[in-house]
């Protein structure tokens, strides 16, 4: 009986996963923001997270921002970004994926650039690690991104003070259980270390 129950449970989980929509998501700017400056935010999904689960976060960001903001969520093959950007020398597949998604936004009316100053890069969980690696990989090129947002994630070695691009680290108490917030403390300490030499902790430079 237990084996039958387990088989049913696995079948239900499998069926649920196959129903998840993992197609590329393009969120057009809100009509109420049409007169504002046009920008685009890329969100790299976390491991085993289908793109459909970023619908509400994307729309919430668009609602709160003072920008005419497009949001693009590229689909990761196998719902995993790391094979396409495991280090700064092997990020071309992820870069191609991101740019293909941005081109879809262009087809729908996006008129900004495909890199800085108009495109912000972000990622959730493992997607944040990939996003940080991608930004670093193209930092000194015409394909560089404007800045980075990591959500429940961190840059390499959680060393913000040595990361050469602007980074916003967003953590939540339930993200990754109790371990993730504790690990993100290293990012905060690194940021504070930089701030002490650049205007003070919680000063304008650190906040910006």
Rounded to whole angstroms, the Cα distance separating 208 from 204 reads 6
Rg of the chain (C-alpha set): 18
User: Can you tell me whether residue 186 is helix, strand or coil?
Assistant: helix
- How far is residue 130's CA from residue 88's CA, in Å, rounded to a whole number? 9
pLDDT tens, position by position, for the chain (208 residues)? 444 444 334 433 444 445 689 999 999 999 999 999 999 999 999 999 999 999 999 999 999 999 999 999 999 999 999 999 999 999 999 999 999 999 999 999 999 999 999 999 999 999 999 999 999 999 999 999 999 999 988 888 888 788 888 899 888 766 665 556 677 888 889 899 999 999 999 999 888 7
DSSP assignment, residue 102? H
Phi, psi of 70 (to 5 degrees): -90, 145
21-40 per-position pLDDT tens digit: 999 999 999 999 999 999 99
What are the chain's domains? 22-207 (3.40.50)
On the 0-12 / 13-18 / 19+ scale of CB atoms within 10 A, 139 is middle
pLDDT value, residue 10:
42
Nearest-angstrom CA–CA distance, 137 and 156 = 12
Task: Please give the torsion angle defined by the CA atoms of residues 115, 50, 80 and 171, in that order, rounded to the nearest 10 degrees.
Answer: 70
Which pTM does this prediction carry?
Answer: 0.85
In tens, the pLDDT along 81-114 reads 999 999 999 999 999 999 999 999 999 999 999 9
At residue 30, the pLDDT reads 97
Q: What is the distance between the terminal CA atoms of the chain, rounded to a whole angstrom? A: 59
What pairs with residue 122 in β-bridges?
43, 149
Reported residue count of the chain is: 208
> DSSP 3-state assignment of 70?
strand
* Of 182, 162, 163, 160, residue with least CA distance to 171: 182
């Amino acid at each position: 009986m237990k084996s039958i129950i387990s088989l049913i449970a696995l079948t239900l989980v499998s069926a649920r996963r196959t129903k998840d929509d993992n197609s590329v998501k393009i969120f057009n700017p809100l009509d109420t923001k049409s007169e504002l400056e046009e920008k685009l935010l890329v969100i790299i999904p976390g491991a085993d997270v289908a793109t459909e689960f970023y619908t509400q976060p994307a729309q919430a960001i668009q609602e709160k921002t003072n920008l005419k903001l497009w949001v693009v969520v590229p689909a990761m093959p196998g719902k995993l970004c790391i094979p396409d950007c495991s280090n700064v020398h092997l990020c071309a597949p992820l870069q191609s994926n991101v740019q293909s998604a941005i081109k879809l936004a262009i087809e729908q009316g996006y008129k900004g650039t495909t890199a800085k100053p108009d495109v912000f890069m972000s990622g959730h969980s493992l997607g944040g690690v990939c996003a940080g690696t991608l930004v670093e990989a193209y930092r000194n090129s015409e394909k560089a991104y404007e800045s980075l947002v990591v959500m429940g994630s961190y840059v390499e070695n959680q060393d913000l003070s040595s990361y050469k691009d602007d980074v916003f680290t967003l953590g939540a108490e339930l993200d990754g259980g109790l371990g993730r917030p504790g690990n993100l403390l290293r990012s905060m300490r690194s940021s504070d270390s930089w701030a002490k030499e650049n205007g003070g902790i919680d000063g304008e430079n650190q906040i910006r």
